[in-house]
């Protein structure tokens, strides 16, 4: 539904290209994660996806219609909703209701439709609309403000939601909540394009990861392939940490435990460990003087 076809971009004439030949697509209901060190081009891709920037070469296509053709632009642009980095810094209304209603009102919807959209968006991010609606957004916690900002974009009912560093600056519990809301949206069919350094979170949600390096896609694939043990060196060179659970699995493998090289979530690791330890216990019972862990790593 959203396709980048050989997209290159420079910000100013004669300036160097900051993106070169970017080619990928996001299918309906899919989640794509953009990784890579600061300056590698993630935010620029999000701006192209929602039509804030036009490609220097190539095209960005939504539902087979190029974003750059004028007659398509207005119609198509709000199909992709962008939540910028630190969106809570752009809150400006006196009440939560007015904040989330701003976009739908600008679309010229009736009061009843505006109310419906605001309630739907606030519920989606975990609030009780009638409780939160009259509150002052500036009096909320950081995590709550971010959810309000997210609701403001959701109220436009985008089919693709693009998020720039959505986990940055949140407490662990707020990160966890946000992750759960994004998963909920994803399960209900919103496509997600997420630029992030938060490898633990993105590895659990994304169908595909694109690892950027100086404006090009250096590595791509589903999380369990990108974070396979064999990519350790490559990931380091790209400035990327593995998810904590993946790094732990790699260490256990290097100690000789026969654990899959493609672990990205805790349940997988627990399953593998249980199976591996079960084998050892069975072997230990048959051979009472052998079968300890040190023996296996020898
Ligand atoms: N408005 C701008 N004008 C000129 N250069 C920019 C602008 N925004 C970003 N850049 C440059 O484009 C490159 C990619 O930046 P960006 O997309 O923000 O990367 P990331 O989000 O991965 O940190 C960087 O070299 C950055 O300095
Ligand atoms: Mg960025």
Domains of the chain: 2-223 (3.40.50.300), 248-297 (no CATH)
**Residue 269 in contact with residue 204, Cβ under 8 Å?**
no
Predicted TM-score (pTM) of the model is 0.90
Give the Cα separation of 161 and 78 in Å (integer).
10
Which residue CA neighbors atom 26 of ligand 1 most closely? 39
d(CA 253, CA 84): 39
Alpha-carbon distances of 150 from 46, 58, 68, 183, 211, rounded to whole Å: 15, 30, 26, 14, 25
Of 72 and 13, the structure prediction assigns the larger pLDDT to: 13
Q: Is the pLDDT of residue 294 over 60?
A: no
Ligand 1 atom closest to Cα of residue 165 = 21
Phi, psi of 264 (to 5 degrees): -125, 0
Pocket lining: 17 vs ligand 1, CB cutoff 6 Å? no
pLDDT of residue 296: 45
Confidence of residue 76 (pLDDT cuts 50, 70, 90): low
Which ligand lies nearest to the CA atom of residue 42 in the structure? 1
Question: Residue 277: pLDDT band by 50, 70, 90 thresholds?
Answer: confident
Is pLDDT of 49 > 50?
yes
User: pLDDT tens-digit profile of 173-199?
Assistant: 889 989 998 998 998 889 999 999 999
Q: Which residues contact 91 (CB under 8 A, 6 or more apart)?
A: 99, 137, 138, 145, 148, 149
Q: Whose CA is nearest to atom 5 of ligand 1?
A: 11
Q: What percent of the chain has pLDDT over 70?
A: 92
Res. 169: pLDDT tops 80: yes
Whether 43 is in the pocket of ligand 1, judged by its Cβ within 6 Å, is yes
% residues pLDDT > 90 (the chain): 72
What ligand is nearest to the CA atom of residue 213?
A: 1
| pLDDT recorded at residue 123 | 93
Residue 64 confidence class, pLDDT cut points 50, 70, 90: confident
Contact assessment for residue 91 and residue 45, using Cβ atoms and an 8 Å cutoff: no
pLDDT at 297 over 50: no
* Tokens encoding 191: 């496509």
Pocket test for ligand 1, best of 35, 40, 44 (most atoms within 8 A of CB): 44
State yes or no: pLDDT of 285 exceeds 80: no
The residue contributing the CA closest to ligand 1 atom 7 is 11
Q: Name all contacts of 13-22 with Cβ < 8 Å and 24+ positions apart.
A: 17/56, 17/215, 18/44, 18/215, 19/44, 19/45, 19/48, 19/215, 19/216, 20/215, 20/216, 21/58, 21/216, 22/58, 22/216, 22/217
Distance (angstroms) between ligand 2 centre and the Cα of 164 equals 7
Using the predicted structure, report yes or no on whether residue 68 has a pLDDT greater than 80.
Answer: no
**pLDDT exceeds cutoff 80 at 67:** no
- Ligand approaching nearest to the C-alpha of 48: 1
| 33 touches ligand 1 (CB under 6 Å) | no
Look at residue 212 and give its three-state secondary structure: strand
Ligand 1 contact, 278 CB (< 6 A): no
Residue 44 CB–ligand 1 contact under 6 Å? yes
In this predicted structure, which of 61-70, 148-157, 213-222 has the lowest mean pLDDT? Answer: 61-70
Q: Kindly indicate the confidence band of residue 288, based on its pLDDT and cuts at 50, 70 and 90.
A: low
pLDDT digits (tens, 9 = 90+) for 91-113: 999 999 999 999 999 989 999 99
The pLDDT assigned to 65 comes to 72
């Amino acid at each position: 539904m959203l396709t980048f076809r050989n997209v290159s971009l420079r910000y100013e004439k004669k300036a160097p290209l900051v993106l070169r030949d970017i080619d990928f697509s996001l299918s309906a209901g899919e989640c794509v994660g953009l990784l890579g060190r600061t300056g590698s081009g993630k935010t620029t891709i999000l701006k192209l996806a929602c039509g804030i920037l036009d490609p220097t070469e190539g095209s960005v296509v939504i539902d087979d219609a190029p974003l750059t053709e004028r007659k398509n632009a207005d119609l198509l642009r709000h199909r992709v909703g962008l939540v910028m980095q630190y969106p809570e810094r752009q809150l400006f209304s006196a009440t939560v209701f007015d904040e989330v209603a701003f976009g739908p009102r600008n679309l010229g919807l009736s009061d009843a439709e505006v109310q419906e959209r605001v309630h739907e968006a606030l519920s989606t991010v975990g609030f009780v609309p009638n409780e939160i609606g009259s509150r002052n957004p500036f009096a909320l916690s950081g995590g709550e403000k971010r959810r309000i900002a997210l609701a403001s974009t959701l109220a436009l009912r985008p089919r693709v939601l693009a998020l720039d560093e959505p986990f940055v600056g949140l407490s662990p519990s707020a990160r966890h909540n946000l992750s759960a809301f994004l998963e909920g949206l994803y399960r209900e069919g919103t496509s997600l394009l997420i630029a992030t350094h938060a490898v633990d979170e993105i590895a659990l949600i994304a169908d595909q990861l694109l690892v950027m390096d100086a404006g090009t896609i250096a590595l791509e694939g589903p999380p369990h392939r990108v974070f396979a043990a064999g990519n350790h060196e490559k990931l380091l060179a790209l400035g990327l940490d593995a998810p904590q659970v993946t790094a732990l699995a790699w260490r256990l493998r290097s100690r000789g435990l026969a654990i899959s090289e493609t672990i990205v979530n805790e349940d997988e690791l627990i399953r593998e460990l249980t199976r591996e330890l079960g084998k050892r216990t069975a072997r230990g019972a048959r051979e009472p003087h052998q079968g300890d862990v040190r023996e296996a790593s020898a």
